[in-house]
Structure 1
Amino acid sequence: MGIDTLNRGENHREEHAVGLGGAAPRDDDQAAELLARARGAVDPALKAAVDTMPESMARIAAYHFGWREADGSPASADPGKAIRPALVLAAAQACAAAGTAGVQTAADTVGLQTAAVPAAAAVELVHNFTLLHDDVIDRDETRRHRPTAWRVFGATEAILAGDALHSLALRTLAEDGHAAAGPAMRRLADCVVELCGGQQADCAFEQRSAVSLAECLAMAEAKTGALLGSACAIGALYGGADEKAADAMDAFGRQIGLAFQLIDDLIGIWGDPAVTGKPAGADLLVRKKSLPVVAALGSGTPAGAELAEIYALDRPLTPAEVRRAADAVERAGGRAWAQGASCERMAAAIEHLALAVPEPAATDDLLALAELVTRRNR
């Protein structure tokens, strides 16, 4: 996908406005219910895992998850959206339903999702391990409207707590007696290696004056798509799918992940600070080479050249320069390209999902979660 798709964004947004495959958009309440159900299912497993950590690290993890204040007193802060564990549970249910011609009782569904909870918890533990590390690497001051763990407890402490969460994720699968636990652990371990490669590339881009769109997309797939792909593949395995179907589910999740990253990058420039908890134009302020920015820089337009000049300034950007940079990205076509590319990735995701789960009725929850990704605002 290249910059030649810049002018196609509006058409893709209009197509997506009526839902995937031309159907009406699913009710947001469906996705919200799936996320709430996933959060309710995995939180006890997450808390049980965190309770096995040394007290000093458990305190950091509990603060990061929103369960505790910095002083250890109870809290009810935002724990995150639980998209990844929701995908594990939905993929398990979809593949099991497809394998039984779509016939499942309510008891079957509850039992299947209960069996997949350790896998969903493991994926969420890995996700939060990466968040703790990312906040240190990026020097982010806030997450979910609270100071980040490293700002409260120190960078070393936050890194070590993240390392422990990673180990807890693998132990959660190692101790699970499910037949799919072994293959799931291998996939999750491979995913972490890929995630680290994506993070390293992201950091390396900051030191380079020029980054190609292809490089940026590859980095985004590794850093964001890999874990969403793993979540879907692991859920598929727990739902009885074979490796071929699990691979197709992995591809589905990766495409969703790229759509997710494209939207995340748009939010990083145009998101509402009251909703995101971050300053306006946060990504531009630190001169991040996000996907809309790289598309704009490579557009060959006067606006792209203006953006390059702003990014080349050897001093902190003023609020006015941040606003100019956002305007330049838009005028260069970066915003429209990212919106259109997000819809293209969703279309590709649907093709992979059809290969993994040929029974359309079984995919409804997965599609509701996929649509939520591209309609989110934080």
Structure 2
Amino acid sequence: MTVLTDHTAAREAVDAGLRAAAARLPAPAAHIAAYHFGWTDASGSPVQANSGKALRPLLTLLAAKAVGGEDAWRQAVPAAVAVEMVHNFSLIHDDIIDRDSLRRHRPTAWKVYGVNDAILVGDALHALAFEVIAESGCDRVPAGTSLLAQTVRALIEGQLADTRFETREQVELAECVAMSEAKTASLMGCATALGALFGGGTAQQVDALRDFGFRLGLAFQHVDDLLGIWGDPAVTGKAVYSDLRNRKKSLPVTAALGSGHPDAPELAAIYNATGQLTEAELRRAADLVEACGGRQASRRAAEMLTEAATDSLGVEGLRAEAVEELTDLAASTVHRAN
């Protein structure tokens, strides 16, 4: 799939914006941020590590292109940088909350530098996102700032729900969907809406592209939750059965627990037990989620949401080439392996 005529220049522009923003931090914080983004190793030496899919900034740039034409992505680079800053602030904090030791095949920031420093660097990236938006010079800064702030609030609401689910014996599927909408879908919807805003889109186009990103974001979370159970650690960069190990009430798990299947009580018993799960228990839990239909339900939901997302792109005035690229990106996201 070819995304953006000038894809290399677009990725380089976002990377340069991220590096310039991170360089504003005090030296110790900048050091940790550079490690987290994959620019350096733990000692600060430059490396070519995996810096992530950059899906959200790519969505921002494609949305700008959809409303403004081939070169409109350039004026949306600050929005793309801000979205990626917010995303990475949430990743650093999520890794601490979940006690995840690996991300992108490397030890997480808190494992290398400690919890306190990692929290503070996450906070700093959050603040930098708003600085980048404010200094962009775009006449839509007020609307963009408001949208980003609302999104961060939703993201935190989703994270709070996620952590509370871990201590509850029963979580309804509708609650889990609402949590995923807040925690994941809201930021993807923000990414596409900001791109449309900064690209000069109409209110109708901004709404349509936000809807596209939101639906795609929920589809993304369904797939992410599947990978959190069955993903290959060599591909995902996370430990096998990572979500089960943390007893996360993820979308496939919640669907399985509420399925009414005869095996659902056994899965509930594993989840409600105390102490660390053994490897045998983790394997059994994964088998039970599948037997109870959780795996199939999340796969089907992801496909339906992706179809609904692409339907959102039928709004008048969007550039056909960009719509095709967004559609292709949606399909590849749902069928991804990491």
What TM-score do you get using the length of structure 2 for normalisation?
A: 0.96
What is the match of residue 192 of structure 2?
232
1:358 deviates by: 5.3
CA distance in 2, matches of 1:227, 1:356: 24
Root-mean-square deviation (CA), in Å?
Answer: 1.7
One-letter amino acid of the counterpart of residue 113, structure 1: W
* Among candidates 221, 245, 270, match of residue 310 of structure 1: 270
Matched, 1:171 2:143: no
Distance (whole Å) between structure 2 residues aligned to residue 77 and residue 120 of structure 1: 21
Residue 263 of structure 1 corresponds to 223
- The whole-number CA distance in structure 1 between the counterparts of 2:263 and 2:104 is 33
Identity fraction in percent: 51
* Compared CA separation, residues 84 and 242, structure 1 to 2 (3 A): same
| CA contact 2:67–2:318 (8 Å) conserved in 1 | no
Q: Which whole-Å CA distance do the structure 2 matches of 1:225 and 1:372 have between them?
A: 17
Mapped contact 1:38–1:85 kept (Cα < 8 A): no
2:162 pairs with 1:190? no
Aligned with 1:136: secondary structure? helix
Name the SS of the counterpart of 2:260 in structure 1: coil
Greater RCO, 1 or 2 (C-alpha within 8 Å, sep 6+): 1
- Give ranges in structure 2 of 5+ residues lacking alignment: none
What CA distance in whole angstroms lies between the structure 2 residues aligned with 1:59 and 1:177?
28
Match of 1:321 in 2: 281
Q: Is the CA contact 2:66–2:318 (under 8 Å) kept in the aligned structure 1?
A: no
> Which residue of structure 2 aligns with residue 80 of structure 1?
52
Letter in structure 2 aligned against 1:183: A
d(CA) in 1 for partners of 2:114 and 2:203?
A: 42
1:48 alignment partner in structure 2: 20
Query: Residues of 1 paired with 2:6 and 2:238: CA distance?
Result: 26
Q: Which amino acid aligns with 2:187?
A: L
Among 81, 84, 94, the alignment partner of 2:66 is 94
Deviation track 1:95-141 (CA, whole Å, cap 9, x = no partner) reads: 124xxxxxxxxxxx23x222111111111111111111111111110
The DSSP-based 3-state class of the residue aligned with 1:302 is coil
2:90 to 125, 130, 133: 130
Task: Work out the CA distance in 1 between the residues paired with 2:6 and 2:286.
Answer: 34
Aligned length: 338
For 2:249, the equivalent position in structure 1 comes to 289
| Residue 280 of structure 1: aligned partner | 240
Give the drift of 1:360. Answer: 4.2
Q: Quick one: which amino acid aligns to residue 240 of structure 2?
A: A
Q: CA deviation at 1:278?
A: 2.0
Distance 1:94 1:39 in 2: 17
1:314-359 CA-partner distances (Å, limit 9, x unpaired):
2211111111111111110111100000011112112222236555
Q: CA deviation at 1:70?
A: 1.3
Determine if contact 2:10/2:74 at 8 Å carries over to the other structure: no
Deviation at 1:279, TM superposition (A): 2.3
- Counterparts of 1:293 and 1:235 in 2: how far apart (Å)? 34
1:353 equivalent in alignment to 2:313: yes
Q: 1:69 deviation in Å?
A: 1.4
Rate the CA distance shift 1:314–1:252 in 2: closer, same or farther, 3 A: same
Q: Displacement, 1:184?
A: 1.2
Unaligned runs of 5+ in 1: 1-28, 98-108
